[in-house]
């Protein structure tokens, strides 16, 4: 964990590192701009506790141009993010970490797929990088009855519940308004979220509660561990294919 000393980390000698990734961006009229960072921080701690991994502090800034239109969003170029993550992960490899799990808690980081693919193609089997996207769990949480809605892309039932669980003093439920846009998600490449949703909400925050938030964190942490174990087992089982370890 990032609150341990270097000697404590040396003694424990984990081969897995976890990098939670958030974003700073608008989350409707009722949630703080730190929402994705706060979610990634809480989920990261829970996943690290279950796995004994070395947990890095959550990276607050990634890519979120789809939230342009109001003040309070911070982004970098996708190529900068790609290079920054490559540098961070290769610094971990130099120190003997064999596995890195990226815990992505913001949907709009589209450069993540080539980043993970390239790192594995270049560094397998010495380094394995798994991408865990917490937004993918929303569907499972809905099927399992933890969520009442499956309309969420942003600031809906799920994210509002999670912030109610970890930072209730920052949530303004009296300002929460449900809104499900008529256009599909890929339209965020044609115009900012405010074109699709005047309030910047994509989902149903009125269904949120702190109790649900706790359930979402608990189940998402289990699903994250399952998913990363599956990904690492798959990569570990590979044999060389002609010239390729990938």
User: Which residues are near Zn ion by CB under 5 A?
Assistant: 35-36, 159
CB of 162 to Zn ion, least distance (A): 9
Q: Which residue is nearest to Zn ion (CB)?
A: 36
Q: CB neighbours (10 Å) of residue 217?
A: 20
Q: How far is CA 42 from the centre of its chain?
A: 11
Q: Is 52 left (phi over 0), alpha (psi -120 to 50) or beta?
A: left
* Angle, helices 157-166/35-51, rounded to nearest 10 degrees: 70
Is there a contact between 102 and 58 (Cβ–Cβ < 8 Å)? no
CB of 27 to Zn ion, least distance (A): 6
CB of 227 to Zn ion, least distance (A): 19
| Residue closer to Zn ion (CB basis): 1 or 24 | 24
CB of 36 to Zn ion, least distance (A): 4
| Residue closer to Zn ion (CB basis): 35 or 215 | 35
**Residues facing 27 on adjacent strands:** 31
Cα–Cα distance measured from residue 99 to residue 113, given in angstroms and rounded to the nearest whole number:
17
Cα–Cα distance measured from residue 27 to residue 8, given in angstroms and rounded to the nearest whole number:
38
| Residue closer to Zn ion (CB basis): 36 or 133 | 36
| Residue closer to Zn ion (CB basis): 19 or 155 | 155
């Amino acid at each position: 964990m990032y609150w341990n000393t270097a000697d404590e980390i040396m003694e424990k000698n984990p081969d897995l590192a976890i990098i939670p990734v958030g974003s700073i961006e608008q989350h409707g009229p009722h949630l703080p701009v730190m929402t994705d960072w706060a979610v990634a921080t809480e989920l990261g701690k829970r996943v690290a506790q279950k796995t004994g991994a070395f947990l890095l502090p959550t990276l607050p800034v990634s890519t979120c141009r789809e939230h342009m239109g109001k003040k309070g969003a911070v982004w970098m170029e996708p190529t900068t993010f790609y290079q920054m993550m490559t540098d961070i992960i290769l610094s971990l490899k130099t120190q003997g970490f064999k596995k890195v799990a990226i815990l992505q808690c913001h949907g709009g980081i589209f450069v993540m797929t080539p980043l993970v693919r390239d790192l594995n193609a270049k560094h397998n089997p010495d380094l394995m990088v798994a991408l865990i996207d917490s937004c993918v769990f929303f569907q499972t949480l809905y099927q399992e009855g933890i969520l009442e809605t499956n309309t969420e892309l942003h600031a809906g039932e799920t994210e509002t519940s999670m912030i109610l669980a970890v930072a209730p003093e920052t949530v303004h439920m009296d300002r929460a308004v449900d809104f499900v846009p008529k256009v599909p998600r890929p339209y965020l490449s044609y115009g900012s979220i405010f074109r699709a949703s005047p309030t910047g909400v994509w989902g149903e925050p009125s269904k949120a509660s702190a109790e649900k938030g706790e359930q979402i964190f608990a189940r998402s942490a289990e699903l994250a561990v399952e998913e990363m174990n599956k990904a690492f087992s798959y990569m570990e089982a590979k044999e060389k294919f002609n010239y390729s370890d990938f």
